[in-house]
Amino acid sequence: MSFLQPLNFWQTYRQRRQREHAEDALKHIHACEWRGQTASADSLAGALHLSAREVVRLIEQMETQGWLVTTPQGLRLTPDGEQQAVAVIRAHRLWERYLADEARMPLAQIHAEAERREHQSSPEILAKFEAELGHPWTDPHGDPIPTAAGKIENRADQPLTAWQTNAPLRITHIEDEPPAIFAQIVAAGLRPGHVIRILTSTAERMVISNGDDTPALAPIVAANISAELAPNAPTAATQLTSLQMGESAIVAALDPALQGFTRRRLLDLGLTPGTRIQLELPSMFRDPLAYRVRGTLIALRKEQAEWVYIEKE
């Protein structure tokens, strides 16, 4: 074996790691700007787990590439830097959508795996990937997926702690960090797209209704959930999951937040508005259940049935 082979391997590895660090830095700075904050060398070091010397070298490299500028207030992306950052964010959120919907990976694990895969996708591959996913517009946490042109949707959402009681709200985003708080939200059965109401809100806890359950959350947990007003949204009480054994109903709609492969799959199963559906066969663990649709038995998991709204007969 030539002595040049190990040398070439380490050069390739180092170049790849430098590119990954630069792309992670772009995401961090973009996230700060999105929140109205300013990134700094210290925040970059903390986010990327790099030493002060490594961060200085990284900033110099990115300035040379024309991706950022250092100002008295902190680090700012240039237009080229913002374009690069949005491209990485687009890759990350498309991978999260795939890992959640198709690979069936637990939500608590998809972020780290998407972090690894986001650096391996060209714009051409992502365009094909997006089409195969059914052109989803949000990731599993509710964050908007940038378009190929670099546009990111702005929404008028706020943390749950900022909303008054009894207003109909649709969950738009669930923050996945820190993991301990994210685990509590997942355990409460809450996810983007759910329509909820805040029943009570005190300094100690917030009680939420989704039509079936009333989970209680500490304010620090509720602050990691964002929502927007949903005055015309169907209530959770009209979800397909409310159907009892032997009951039938008419499909009213699929939740507008449902997208990609899952929406297409439910439509292919015949769950279109106006279709009659009946719950026929139980399951030992209540999941999945068998429904009769257009003369055929289909099996739906609870998480799929929650996307279907019905009008009971």
Q: How many CA atoms lie within 13 A of 129 on its CB side?
A: 23
Tokens of 133: 């996913």
CATH of 4-77, picked from 3.40.190.80, 3.40.50.970, 1.10.3720.10, 1.10.10.10, is 1.10.10.10
36-44, Cβ contacts within 8 angstroms, sequence gap of 24 or more? 38/73, 38/74, 38/75, 38/76, 39/74, 39/75, 40/74, 40/75, 41/75, 44/75
The CATH code of domain 158-229 reads 2.30.30.90
Q: What is the pLDDT of residue 87?
A: 93
Indicate the domain borders of the chain. Answer: 4-77, 158-229, 237-312
Q: Are 168 and 195 in contact (CB under 8 A)?
A: yes
- The pLDDT, as a whole number, for residue 293 is 94
Q: Does residue 57 sit in helix, strand or coil?
A: helix
pLDDT for the residue 140: 86
Question: Residue 123 to residues 85, 222, 311: CA-CA distances in angstroms?
Answer: 13, 36, 43
Query: In the chain, where does DSSP find H-type helix?
Result: 4-34, 41-48, 52-64, 79-101, 107-117, 123-132, 179-187, 219-222, 260-268, 302-305
Along the chain (313 residues), what's the average pLDDT of each consecutive run of 10 residues?
58 79 93 90 92 94 94 94 94 91 82 88 85 84 88 86 90 87 88 87 90 87 92 67 88 78 85 91 76 92 86 80
Structure tokens at 13: 């590895």
CB 134 within 8 A of CB 261: yes
| Topology match between the domains 4-77 and 158-229 | no
The C-alpha atoms of residue 21 and residue 121 are separated, in whole angstroms, by: 16
pLDDT at 207: 94
Structure-token pair, residue 290 = 């068998």
Which letter does DSSP use for residue 238 in this model? G
Q: Which CATH class is domain 237-312?
A: mainly beta
Question: Would you call 89 helix, strand, or coil by DSSP?
Answer: helix
List pLDDT tens digits, range 55-71. Answer: 999 999 999 999 999 99
- Give this prediction's pTM: 0.72
